[in-house]
Every structure is written in C-alpha cells, then in structure tokens.
Structure 1
Amino acid sequence: MPRVSHHGELHKLNLPRNSTLFSATPETYWSHFEEISKYNVHLNVFERLWVAWYAFMQNDVLATGIMSFVMHEVVYFGRALPWILIDTLGLFKKYKIQDNKIPTLKEQWECARLVLLSHFTVELPQIWLFHPMAQYFGLTTTVPFPSLWTMAYQIAIFFVMEDTWHYFLHRALHWGPLYKAIHKIHHQYSAPFGLAAEYASPIEVMLLGFGTVGCPILWCAFTGDLHILTMYIWIVLRLFQAIDAHSGYEFPWSLHHFLPFWAGADHHDVHHEKFIGNFASSFRWWDFVLDTEYTPESVKRWREKKAEKVAKKAN
C-alpha cells in the first residue's frame, strides 16, 4: 500500500527521513497531503490524495475498508436516487417499460431497508477482508496509477468475465429448489426499479458478488497486473450497469441502441416480468447463443420443445 510510514517503501515517494509523516504526533489528512505534494511534484493531484489517505490512516486494512464501503454506498444510493425521483414525480412515464407498475414510496423504503441491512451484515465483512485478499493475490496499491488504456482494457475484460459468471449462475438459480431457497426474494418485484438491483438473499449477494470481485482477482492471480484503483472504477461501472438495468425505463438514448449486444433495462425488465429467459447481466450474446433470449418466437419454440418432451415421456 502507499503508506509512507513503511520505511521500506520510501523509494516510491520522495520524502525526507525526518518528515512529519513519520512522527508519532497525530496529523491531519491535509497536512499529509501538503507534505507529500511538497516533495512529490511528479505525482498528479489524485495520486497525492491517494497516498495522503493511507499515510493519514496508518492502517492499510482500515483505510481500504473505509474507502471501499463508503464508495459503494455513495455510488449505489447516489445512482439510485435519480430513479427514485423519476418514479416519485412521475417523470418520463412514457418511457416506463411497465407503466402500470410504478413503485410506491413505501416499496422503495422497504427495499432500501433490506438493501442497507444486506450491505452492513453481508457486504461489510467481505469488504474488510478485501485488502488482505488483494495483497495476497498481488493487486498493486502504490502510485503512480496505471494508464487509462490499461484500466480500460482490463475493465472491458472484467465485464465479459462477470457477464459469463452471472449468466450461468443466474440461470442455475432459476432451477426449482435453488429458486425457492435463494433467488425468489429478488423476484419480489415483477417490475424492477433502481434500488432493487441488490435486493436479494445473502447467499445470492455473495454468489453474484464473486463475479464482480472474484473475476478481477482471478485475472490478477494469472497476470500479476492489476491496480486497486482499476478495481474501484470497475465496481463503480458495474453498479451503474446493475442499477440502470433494474431502472424499468427504456429511452431512445439507452446504450443498447448504440451497442446492439448490450443488455440494458429492456432486456432485464422482461426477465422480471416473465420470470424466464434473459439471464445475462451486461451483454446479450449468451442468451442469444444458448437460446434463452425472451422473444415471442423463442417462447413459441420453447413451448414446442416442452410439448415434444412431454409427448416422448408419455410414449
């Protein structure tokens, strides 16, 4: 980590040995930032803010844990807030996919309560374990940050990896016993809304969460090349994708109009309404290739196949 209190990491920053960063007297965050900026003009402002945070905290696990949890909560509820306002104020109603099913404030509040409970009881303990796990698999946490190109291509790979994990696990969760025991709670709302993206049982939260966190860590284990900042940006984008997919709104400017293989809200909304098909998270290709994309033609085909199986058993 970029904690400059570790003398063994002084080669990463230009700091004098008698720097106040190493004093036993408690310092403010901004005093650390000023000290680092004074001797490390080659770092950009974001890198200095990053290093100052770890220097101020003096505990890598705590620093990463607080930053990760706060980031998750701010992004999740911050991204869901516009959808709450849109539903409450009746804005863009003509773009609502299931326009006869607008979530009430009571439903939104009940959903928020369960999501918060899940965040504090299920996700928070995992977040505290994230830093030791990240260190074990070799995630980089020092400065300078990776290039934009490096972060971009790695995040693109993570989207593909997570989508694959999500598709097959999500499809498995629709098998009778698993659906009743684990996945049923997520389908409480047949017309999804943004806040409901992480409205799920604790087991499902952990299983699907592995795709978001585990896939990048597997990448790092095999390549040895991943910065924790890339992880953070990836998680932010994944949260945006999940919340928007559950928004219940289809706009002319929705991303899938420009990227035909992107799933989006129209793809996932049908899954909640019909309870079958459209299992993928970000992309449409697994549903297309494995014939699980919900269309009138596919429904007819599924029914014919089911009838054939019943007829064979009868014979």
Structure 2
Amino acid sequence: MASYLGFHNTTLPHDLSGSSSLYSSVNFDDLNWAEQKWAEWYMFIGNPVLATGIMSFVMHEIVYFGRCLPLVIIDRIPYFNRWKLQPGKVPTAREQWECTKLVLLSHFTVELPQIWGFHPMAEYFGMSTHSVPFPALTTIAWQVAIFFVFEDTFHYFAHRWLHTPMMYKHIHKLHHKFSAPFGLAAEYAHPVEVLILGTGTIGGPLLFAILSQTIWPQVSLHIVTVYIWIIFRLFQAVEAHSGYDFPWGTRHWLPFWSGAEHHDFHHMAFVNNFSTSFRWWDHWLGTDLKYQAYRKRIEASKASERAKIEAAENLTIEASGLAAERALLARSGESKPKNVRVGEVVAPDGHESAPTNLLKVNAESKKSR
C-alpha cells in the first residue's frame, strides 16, 4: 500500500520514528515519500487541529487561484477567443479585481472558520486525518465518485431553491452579476450561498464518515481522499465558470459531464441547467429543454453560418434571460434591481434595458442600412 501515493523513500530524519505519540506504532520504513511527508508535517506542527487547518486552507487557496490564473492569462490572448462561449465578453481587469477582492473576503471570513472547524468535526465522525498509510488509489477513486454524485444532487436542488424569488433577491443574485462568467467568478457569491452550496461539497464526506462508523464499519474514510475530492471539485467549479469550451474539455470525452458549455448557458439564459457536474438531473426533471432547443437550432445550421447563428441565438437567449430575471425579482417585490448584471445597460430612469452587446448589434445594423 505504501507505493500507491508518492515514491518509496526510506531516508528519514533520525528522530522521526517515535518522535510523536501520533505515530508511536507506525513503522516509517513501510511508508512512501508522500506518507512520510504527511507525518512529518503533523509532527512539525505538533497540534493536529492546527496542522489540518493550515494545510486545508493553504491547499484551497493554491488550487483555486492556481486553476484560475491560466484562465486570466488566456483571456488576454486573442488566439483562444475561438473557444469563447460568449465571444466579445472578456472580463476587464477591473471586473476581475473586483471579483477577486470579494472572493478573498469570503475565503477569509466564511470559508476559513469552516475549514478550521473541519478537523474536530471529521475526528468526531470517525474520519482518519493525521494517520498513515493512505488508502489505496482504488478506494480513493470510488469514494470520490460517490462524493461527486452526492454533491451534484445536492447542488441541483439547492440551486433551484436559490432561484426562488426571495432567495434569489437576497442571496443568489450576487453570483449572477456576470451573465458571461469567468474562472474567478466560480466562488463569487453571497456568504450564505457559500455556506449552502458548501454543504454539498463537505456534507458528502461527513455523511460517508458517519455511515462508515455505524452501518458500514469495514470501510473507512481518510482526509487525504477528501483533499483529492476538494481539488477535483475546485477544478470542476472553475472550469464550469471559465467561459470557454475547449476541445480537450472533459465533456468531450465524458458525455454526461456538464462543463462550461452547459453552465455558461445558465448564466446567459438565467433558467435551465441547474446542475453542477453532471447533466442527468436537468435531463430527468426537464430543466434543460430550453438549452436543448438552443443547441438543436445551432447544430442544424450550416457550418459556414454557424458562428453567425450562434451569436444571434446568444443575444436572443440573453435578452430572454434578463426578462426572466426581472420577472423573478418582480415576484419578490423588487421593482428596480439594485445590482444590475454586467453586460446590461441602465436607462436614465433606472430601469434595465437590453444587453450592451445587443444594443451595439442593433446600432451597427442600422448604420449598415
């Protein structure tokens, strides 16, 4: 088992084995490099709660912003525009900085306390944290798959709840500020939304740990599996909000994967496509009908005219999305939206009008007549 994660290495500090009561019964010669470094970290910090908290938060920040950074660079390279889902809607540096500031504030005020309290909760529910060796890769793989399915199911129904009048007005509206999302906007959300949707991400592992202690004692869960799950989840969330449908994207070889193409439509149309990782809940419950019709119209067009047809479809869909948002806000009692989505224009009387790019297209068409 020691050879599953990392390279085997028996070169250890002389005082490593037996230097901590956490590992008094562990033979470090049987551990691989990754497991040894894991144990060294916990012994170096000395406090498992502190060690897990620091490692969890730092990992989250590195993975999230590390995954976003390439997309920030790509947004500045015209070559990649060919795969942009809403061409011409490239976030400005100001928009990205505004988004980054709110995301960082959320990370340090909302997510950090959650992450810090995770270790005691994990230990309480029977999850292995500092222990070594790690589980086999096959065990990690099927457990992560279960977490994906759980989170996708939770997210779908929670997301639909967030689109009810009062929940949208007071909470979810902030996330829909960008009708053409970008990577950094994956966690651009109200603190309450972060808590709600975060429950789907961490609730699966905690529920699994509880079940493993009660009705499934022969199976255990290690926090390293949870870390791998969180890494995949962060990659998925950033990809879904990237605004690009790259030909090497996951959805092109995993047909039921949502990906950016699926979720971008949700931001553009406001309705449909509420799932996060997989497409099946939207398909089963009929919340992708508008999306499917949109795709059929584009795919039925001639290849030589497809880009033009898609651009026109996007304008129509976005305009209908703005109307749907206004209707939902009207049901909540809000007559004049205070947080207009990027891409819209506000008339002098304070009411929303058509998307900016739609107005530009109309103006250009009039000039050409």
TM-score range, shorter chain: 0.7 to 0.9
Deviations 1:216-264 (A, max 9, x none): 1101100242100000000000000000000000122221121111000
TM-score (norm 2): 0.71
56, 70, 82: which is aligned to 2:70? Answer: 82
Letter in 1 for 2:132: V
| Equivalence for 2:90 | 102
Residues 184 and 238 in structure 2, CA contact (< 8 A), matched pair in contact too: yes
SS for the counterpart of 2:265 is helix
Residues 4 and 55 in structure 1, CA contact (< 8 A), matched pair in contact too: no
Q: CA deviation at 1:8?
A: 7.0
Letter in 2 for 1:116: L
Q: Structure 1: how far apart are the matches of 2:63 and 2:38? A: 18
Q: Structure 2: how far apart are the matches of 1:199 and 1:222? A: 33
Q: Structure 2: how far apart are the matches of 1:45 and 1:134? A: 25
Q: 1:296 to 1:287 in 2, by over 3 A?
A: closer
| Equivalence for 1:119 | 107
| Equivalence for 1:263 | 258
| Equivalence for 1:34 | none
| Equivalence for 1:238 | 233
Q: Structure 2: how far apart are the matches of 1:112 and 1:212? A: 21
Q: 1:245 to 1:3 in 2, by over 3 A?
A: farther
| Equivalence for 1:197 | 186
Q: Does 1:146 align with 2:135?
A: yes
Q: CA deviation at 1:4?
A: 6.1
Residues 249 and 266 in structure 1, CA contact (< 8 A), matched pair in contact too: yes
| Equivalence for 2:291 | 295
Letter in 2 for 1:247: S
| Equivalence for 2:149 | 160
* Match runs of 1:199-214 below 5 Å: 199-214=188-203
Letter in 1 for 2:267: H
| Equivalence for 1:216 | 205
TM-score (norm 1): 0.83
Letter in 2 for 1:211: G
132, 152, 171: which is aligned to 1:182? Answer: 171
Q: 1:123 to 1:4 in 2, by over 3 A?
A: farther
Q: 1:4 to 1:58 in 2, by over 3 A?
A: farther
Q: Structure 2: how far apart are the matches of 1:193 and 1:7? A: 47
Aligned residue pairs, count: 273
SS for the counterpart of 1:241 is helix
**Most deviating of 253-262 and 157-166:** 253-262
Deviations 1:120-177 (A, max 9, x none): 0000011110100000001112101000000000000100000000000001100111
**Percent identity of equivalent pairs:** 59
Q: Structure 1: how far apart are the matches of 2:147 and 2:253? A: 20
116, 123, 131: which is aligned to 1:128? Answer: 116
Residues 5 and 58 in structure 1, CA contact (< 8 A), matched pair in contact too: no
Residues 3 and 51 in structure 1, CA contact (< 8 A), matched pair in contact too: no
SS for the counterpart of 1:84 is helix
Deviations 1:165-223 (A, max 9, x none): 00000011001111001100000000000000000000000110011111111011002
SS for the counterpart of 1:167 is helix
Residues 167 and 280 in structure 1, CA contact (< 8 A), matched pair in contact too: yes
Name whichever structure is richer in helix by fraction. Answer: 1
Q: Structure 2: how far apart are the matches of 1:273 and 1:267? A: 10
Q: CA deviation at 1:7?
A: 3.3
Residues 3 and 55 in structure 1, CA contact (< 8 A), matched pair in contact too: no
**Most deviating of 154-163 and 89-98:** 89-98
SS for the counterpart of 2:171 is helix
Q: Structure 2: how far apart are the matches of 1:267 and 1:209? A: 21
Deviations 1:77-101 (A, max 9, x none): 0000000001123341010000121
253, 262, 286: which is aligned to 2:281? Answer: 286
Residues 153 and 275 in structure 2, CA contact (< 8 A), matched pair in contact too: yes
Residues 88 and 104 in structure 1, CA contact (< 8 A), matched pair in contact too: no
Structure 2 stretches lacking a partner, 5+ long = 1-15, 214-219, 296-319, 321-369
Q: 1:295 to 1:8 in 2, by over 3 A?
A: closer
Q: Structure 2: how far apart are the matches of 1:43 and 1:71? A: 22
Q: CA deviation at 1:274?
A: 0.7
Residues 161 and 211 in structure 1, CA contact (< 8 A), matched pair in contact too: yes
